[in-house]
Structure 1
Amino acid sequence: MTTPFTPSDIFNHRTISSTNGSPSENLLACAVTSLNSATDGENSAIWAVPLDAGAPWQMTQGGSIDNTPQWSPDGERLAFISNRAGNYQLFVMPRHGGEAVQLSQGNFSLVSYEWSPDGSRIAAVCAVTVDPSLRGARPDPNAVPAPVDGPQVVWKLPYKMDGVGYILNREMRLFMIDAASGEATPLTDGPFDVKAARWSPDGKQLVYVRTREGDMSHRTDVWVMDTDGHHARQLTTDHAQVLYPLWSPDGRWIVFAGTIEEGDAKVRPWLIEVASGKVQALGDEDIELSFEADSMQFVGKDASKLLAVLASRGIQHVCEISIPDGQIKVLADGDRHLSKLCCTPDYVAYTSENSVLPMEIHACRHDGKDERAVSHFNDWWCDRAPATMERRQFVVPDGDGGTETIDGWLIRPVGAKGAAPLLMDAHGGPASYALFDYPVIAYWPVLWSQGWSILALNAVGSSSYGRAFADRLNQRWGEIDLPQYTAAVAQLQAEGIADDRVCIAGKSYGGYLSAWAVGNSTLFRAAVVMAPVANMETHYGTSDSGYYSDSYTMQGNRAETHALIRKVSPVHYVHQAITPTLILQGTNDERCPRSQAEELFVTIRRETDTPCEMVLYPGGTHKFTSTGKPSHRQDTMSRIVEWVTRWVDQHLVTEASTQQNKQAPIK
């Protein structure tokens, strides 16, 4: 006898947020995050997971956030970042456990770090408070520190970031920390942010990512410097975005993830030949990397091949990429998402999950053989109502008078027969794909426990299907992808899997598409719109990234595309809405700000009689469904389920709108 999933199951789930493999034995250290209902917060502890045999054990205890574990080069010490001392600092403990000792004591908050090859030093990226009224100038050494709650002077772009808020009162600097004494020496000091840093194999240089200065500071470049902070030089100039640089074991290459155009979300691998400074793409342009910091690794001393998490046809798999020719060999795949890549002397390890199986750590040999699960953090899932996940293909209109075939994931309860209520779930991006992260989609299991089916399409505009497929949606948001969604539903209805009881939900771009569907379709009996783009005209100037990301997707600046962005904005169509609509929004969302949701809500409430409610989550960011207060997350999942089940059996009221809703749509 199985138990139905409920929204409160988010408190049972444990997320593996980071992993690191020991260089000396087949042992992982990982950070495991769980929700605490008593404190309405999160706890994160470091666990050791053996890959050969034996059960995992917990290495840190208490109510703090302990994350980002990393073994020393000899495998005898384990470092991690923790907030147990207030702000985030670096702690070190012995390999076999014992009391963790605080290493760093700086007036900063540690973000990321890496041990030197000899284990004597640690390069760390840290957040340091600065006075924004100086507009990037260096302060007088005797100046009084600026108050934390002082005026927020805005003198450049970007000035805010989702999940952080106002950012001009801090800089991300690179420090060198002595691994014995904890003494921290600054290596950078300027009006820019260091995003990541890695050591050269000989321990003499650091490769790092830093932002540009002024209004171009949303762009990043690869730099190198000596480990004393001298002789800094820029290696890339043509990329809009670079991420996660990594030195090859022989020191010949620097590998990084990046994009050429600003606003492009499809990240691919690149190579820098250190001796010549030549920058070249690694592999063809349709190779797409996962966005995670640990998506690329070298195995031991082998510089001829790079391990990487690649995205292809909606899945994430572990591959070898040969250097420098870019040939690909798949090591681990399947209908799932693999992530958190790391290596030990004999194994490649990664997390594995899909929509019907929870996250666990898996491992295989370096050649991809003998894969098995090595953790059981989410065994509670075994007692819940099971479901099946099937990759389906749908013949849909291509937007240009023809047809094409797209993929979608159909999730149904085990043993399901006949037509059932269907939730159409639209993914974010749009240059992304359907995600399987349980904290984000925790309402799916609740619905399949009640007999629902879920369809998660990777329609035109989705990434992982090649650049041409993703870029075709530029300038045509809503216009060519919504008809693909409705065609997929029609196919399931023809097959007897679905009937007229169809609802739609989505967040971010999925929120956009759900809002677009409300104003341009009568297929859906209910809609849940989360953190949407509702008005492209105002999103451009209110989002932390709208001023360049919107220009990319609309293929021009605001002045050039004014008529287009008005045409594709859902707020100009929802006066026609007859679909009951629930809008969910974090109040501190800087990616798709609350004004987007509010404009949508007010327009529907003012210009129609259609049922519409909005719920605001105080302090919630763009990721409010997965990183907000646990009580808010549970409330979100409950409201989604309640809303669609309330309305799915009720036919739409076609005369629900007022006389104001008779106006013609924008052309």
Structure 2
Amino acid sequence: MTGQKRGITADDFYRMRYASDPQLSPDGTAVAYVLTMVDEELAYRSHLFIRSLTAQTSTPLTDGAVRDSAPRWSPDGTRICFVSKRSGKSQLWLIDVDGGEPRQLTRCRTGATNPVWSPDGKRIAFSSLLSPDDSFADTEGDEKKDEPKKAIVVGRMKYKSDDLGYVYDVNRQIAVVDVETGAITPLTEGDYQHTVGAWSPDGKWLAITANRVDDPDLQHSIDVHLVSADGGEWKKLTRSKGTFFFPTWSPDGKKLAYIGSESPTQLIATQKKVWMSDLDSGRQDCITEGWDVQVGDATIGDVRSPGHPNPGAVWTEDGEGMYFLASERGSSGIYHTTLDGEVTQVVGGERNVYGFTLHERGQTAVIAVSDPFTPGDLYAVNLATGEEVRLTDVNRDLFAELELPAPIGLEYEGEDGLPLHGWLLKPVGYEPGRKYPLVLQIHGGPHSMYGHTFFHEFHLLAAKGYAVLYTNPRGSLGYGEKFVQACCGDYGGNDYLDLMSAVKYACGRFDFIDTDRMGVAGGSYGGFMTNWIVGQTNVFKAAVTDRSICNWLSFYGVSDIGYYFAEEEIQASPFGNPEKLWQHSPIRHVANIETPLLIMHGEQDHRCPIEQAEQLYIALQRQGKAPVRFIRFPGASHELSRSGDPQQRVLRLQYTCEWFDTYLLQPQKVVME
């Protein structure tokens, strides 16, 4: 290594920070944002900061042992509404931009989230999870309804969620709160899920999204609706043929833009586009129909939690165009489209732009950026000149200590000639002439993408002496609609061959790779593929499978998305074509597995439930062939490696490294106890 720098460690996660959710002030002179960190008690904390675009430092607006999020400026720029659990449940709070003590605005028993100011600054729309026995009038601290139930009658198929747990009869409802009095006006009700969108410029309507079809368990469309801000009248804008999100109003209030897709057959494996409704004529158009690129950020990382606020399509001041995020070939940036669908890139580069806020009149944007050396920082961008100024450098001290290798881009072909794309990290301290073990990493989704973003696990493996190969096989976003859908009905087919082609290409190009010491790892779909690979080949000498799938027959009925995910992605059901579900199940090949396999899974994972790991572990143990170890993480959901308990995340990284060290760095075959 050069100088005094060192490789990254698992424990360095406790020192990492990232900035997110930038929000420009109404006058465009300052930006509010969230800084997330892990404190000395090894718990997540997030605080609000304000940064003048001309100043050199950021000013903290909140502090303490709290998690504050979603800062939203009042229209006059004097106050900020935000979400915090400082009173116990997530509630809306107000604070003056000059500082002082925050004031609690809502006291809903089930909490409040997703604040959106009305144009006149007198009301804020928000959402809350309510059962039929709940109301917005129930106050925080009233726990009489939270007594454990002796029996639960399940009447819907979507009765659990990896994000929310068991929901049964709970639905997300929307209300409006008066900023001065705290009086709440409910806007939605019924057995439907609703999501807050945006106020019309005149303050009379709220654009929201919801699935309000007759059978939302079987018809998964999400439509855009207009709801009277005073309650009562509804208008449905879309045709219940797709999924739409993030509605935004044109400046004159005559049009509404939103992000989504419309397809009679593809709910999951389809690219999102920019759409628009003309409110006078009722006409709906797909603005970016002819542009074969994913709208939104599809990049996977492992430091920032997923689900950062998407601003949707942000209108220009003259109403003749929109700015939005999009993902191409491992990068995400900001693009502009005219109403005729002419798209140009505004903010690009080999990096991951995962959020932005815009002051179009001042030709200023603040972007949230990650790259292979940056977990998450903010930059100010002059939209007229393209000039950028870095506003934050929240990991300066930590990263000054670290040696982080630069990714090497790879272009190669699959067995059928399909162009493919990926990256390789050399080991930290690489020396020409030496041989190094390789770890192939496989992303989840499968409809997401690896890219030009920070990945702690990859840098950790490189610091431990491994070359790290990560690629985007068919099924990944960022390479066009046909590429996204190419794995559907073919899991373990050409997608598997794409990954093996990547390994073959890397071994042929880089003579420092020791082909006798290669490992493979992945989570979710990447865990499925890891399980599949070790049942097909012994080329890898160790494997780590996280929150994986091994049996599509059981997955169909136990996952929160199982029945419709399997029908679209595997194109089969237990009552329609059970043989096909079994054909694509890695456990079918368990007798072939000889690769030492580490299985890790969260016990509260509703996306890929832990019974998948249990099946695989017992089957392998019963055979007594391949060394296997099973690690369960109590309380952990499917998001363990991205937003889970900090200590569990570090343990998971340590277990991963220990497993590969045992079987790839040490010559002896040792089964870890």
Question: What one-letter code is carried by the residue in structure 2 that aligns with 1:197?
Answer: G
The alpha carbon displacement at 1:331 in A equals 1.5
Deviation at 1:146, TM superposition (A): 4.5
Corresponding residue of 2:124: 122
Q: If the length of structure 1 is used for normalisation, what is the TM-score?
A: 0.91
Structure 2 counterpart of 1:63, from 65, 89, 92 = 65
Look up the match of 1:391. Answer: 409
Aligned pairs for 1:5-154 (under 5 A) are: 5-38=8-41, 40-131=42-133, 146-150=145-149, 151-154=151-154
Which residue does the alignment assign to 2:351?
Answer: 336
Compared CA separation, residues 497 and 131, structure 1 to 2 (3 A): farther
1:473 has 2:487 as partner? yes
Residue identity opposite 2:379 in structure 1: H
Cα offset for 1:300? Answer: 5.8
SS across alignment from 1:408: strand
Deviations 1:551-572 (A, max 9, x none): 1112354433322111111111
Residue 283 (structure 2) aligned to one of 256, 278, 281: 278
Task: Report the CA distance shift for 1:478/1:235 in structure 2 as closer, same or farther (over 3 A).
Answer: same
Unpaired runs of 5+ residues, structure 1, are 657-667
- Paired amino acid for 1:44: S
Give the 3 Å change call, closer, same or farther, for CA 347–524 of structure 1 in structure 2.
same
CA contact (8 A) 2:444 2:526 kept: yes
Distance 1:436 1:125, change over 3 A: farther
| Equivalent residues in 2 for 1:199-210, closer than 5 Å | 199-210=199-210
Measure how far apart 1:486 and its partner are: 1.7
Superposition map of 1:466-615 within 5 A: 466-495=480-509, 496-500=511-515, 501-615=517-631
What is residue 664 of structure 1 aligned with on the other side?
none
Paired residue type of 2:373: V
In structure 1, distance between residues paired with 2:322 and 2:572: 36
Relative distance call for 1:435 and 1:85 in structure 2 (3 A) is farther
Contact kept? 1:443, 1:640, Cα under 8 Å: no
- Aligned pairs (5 A) from 1:284-303: 284=290, 286-290=292-296, 293-298=309-314, 301-303=317-319
Q: Are 1:449 and 2:469 an aligned pair?
A: no
Q: Which range is displaced more, 206-215 or 369-378?
A: 206-215
> What's the RMSD between the two structures over aligned residues?
2.3
In the superposition, relative to structure 1, how do residues 297 and 534 fare at CA in structure 2: closer, same or farther (>3 Å)? same
* Residue of structure 2 in register with 1:662 after alignment: none
The equivalent residue for 2:233 is 231
Residues 179-328 of structure 1 mapped to structure 2, 5 A cutoff: 179-212=179-212, 215-217=215-217, 218-260=220-262, 261-264=266-269, 266-283=271-288, 284=290, 286-290=292-296, 293-298=309-314, 301-323=317-339, 325-328=340-343
Q: 1:383 aligns to what SS in structure 2?
A: coil
Give how far 1:145 is off.
Answer: 6.7
User: Contact between 1:210 and 1:220, CA under 8 Å: does it hold in 2?
Assistant: yes
Matching residue's letter, 1:397: E
Q: Which residue of 1 aligns with 2:369?
A: 352
Q: Secondary structure at the match of 1:634?
A: helix
> Deviation string for 1:441-497 (max 9, x for gaps)?
422222212332211101111111011111111111111122222222122222214
Partner of 1:661: none
Deviation at 1:147, TM superposition (A): 4.1
- Whether the aligned pair in 2 keeps the contact of 1:16 and 1:359 (CA below 8 Å) is yes
Relative distance call for 1:529 and 1:215 in structure 2 (3 A) is farther
Residues 174 and 187 in structure 1, CA contact (< 8 A), matched pair in contact too: yes
Q: CA 1:641–1:215 in structure 2 vs 1: closer, same or farther (change >3 Å)?
A: farther
Q: 2:275 is paired with a residue of what secondary structure?
A: strand
Percentage of identical aligned residues: 27
User: Does the 8 Å contact 1:152/1:166 carry over to 2?
Assistant: no
The DSSP-based 3-state class of the residue aligned with 1:363 is: strand
- The answer (yes or no) to whether the contact 1:423–1:505 under 8 Å persists in 2 is yes
Deviations 1:564-614 (A, max 9, x none): 111111111122111111111111011111011111111111124211111
Aligned equivalents of 1:515, 1:467: Cα separation in 2: 27
User: How far off is 1:354 after superposition?
Assistant: 2.3
Whole-angstrom CA distance in 2 between matches of 1:131 and 1:514: 45
AA aligned to 1:108 is: T
- Contact preservation (8 Å) 1:525, 1:650: no
Q: Check whether the contact 2:428–2:463 (CA below 8 A) recurs between aligned residues.
A: no
Q: How does 1:402-441 map to 2 (within 5 A)?
A: 403-413=417-427, 416=430, 417-418=432-433, 419-434=435-450, 438=454, 441=455
Single out whichever of 198-207 and 241-250 deviates more from structure 2.
241-250
1:603-660 Cα offsets, whole Å, 9 max, x none, are 111124211111111110100112221111110011111111111146799xx9xxxx
Q: Deviation string for 1:317-367 (max 9, x for gaps)?
A: 1111222x2221111222211112112344211111123333111221123
User: What TM-score, normalized by structure 2, do the two folds share?
Assistant: 0.90
Deviation string, structure 1 residues 251-298 (Cα, Å, up to 9, x no partner): 222111223333335322211111122222121262312255424242
TM-fit CA distance, 1:411? 1.7
Letter in 1 for 2:272: V
Matches of 2:75 and 2:309, distance apart in 1: 20
Shift of 1:233: 2.1
Distance in 2 of aligned mates of 1:607 and 1:548:
33
Alignment partner for residue 386 of structure 2, among 340, 358, 369?
369
**Match for 1:166: what amino acid?**
Y
Shift in Å, 1:171: 2.1
CA distance in 1, matches of 2:18, 2:169: 32
2:293–2:326 CA contact under 8 A, matched in 1: yes
- 1:660 paired residue number: none
Letter of the 2:7 counterpart: P
Amino acid at match of 1:498: I
Tell me if structure 1 keeps the 8 A contact 2:428–2:464.
no
Q: Alignment partner of 2:470: what SS?
A: strand
Task: Summarize the Cα distance change of 1:594–1:131 in structure 2 as closer, same or farther, 3 Å threshold.
Answer: farther
Give the deviation of 1:53 after TM superposition. Answer: 3.0
Structure 2 distance, partners of 1:186, 1:366, is 40
Q: Residues of 2 paired with 1:497 and 1:75: CA distance?
A: 57
SS state of the match for residue 388, structure 1? Answer: coil
The one-letter amino acid paired with 1:494 is G
Contact kept, 8 Å, 1:531 with 1:586, in 2: the verdict is: yes
Supply the distance in 1 between the matched residues of 2:577 and 2:52 (Cα, whole angstroms).
55
Quote the Cα distance in structure 2 between the aligned partners of 1:80 and 1:163. 21
Structure 1 distance, partners of 2:384, 2:520, is 42
Following the alignment from structure 2 to structure 1, what is the Cα–Cα distance between the partners of residues 668 and 245? 47
Task: Establish whether residue 2 from structure 1 lines up as the match of residue 22 from structure 2.
Answer: no
Q: Is the 8 A contact 2:187 2:227 kept in 1?
A: no
Q: Which moved more, 1:252-261 or 1:538-547?
A: 252-261
Shift in Å at residue 521 of structure 1? 1.3
1:47 deviates by: 1.1
State the alpha-carbon separation in 1 of the partners of residues 254 and 247 from structure 2.
13
Matched residue type, 1:152 = I
Q: Conserved in 2, the CA contact under 8 Å of 1:198 and 1:246?
A: yes
Whole-Å separation in 2 of the counterparts to 1:72 and 1:252: 23
Q: Does residue 1:159 correspond to 2:175, yes or no?
A: no
Give 1:130 shift: 3.6
The 8 Å contact of residues 388 and 414 in structure 1, kept in 2 or not, is answered as no
Q: Secondary structure of the equivalent of 1:539?
A: helix
- Distance (Å, rounded) in 2 between the aligned partners of 1:160 and 1:494: 47
Q: Are 2:660 and 1:644 equivalent residues in the alignment?
A: yes
Native 8 Å contact 1:131 1:169 kept in 2: no
1:92 Cα shift? 0.9
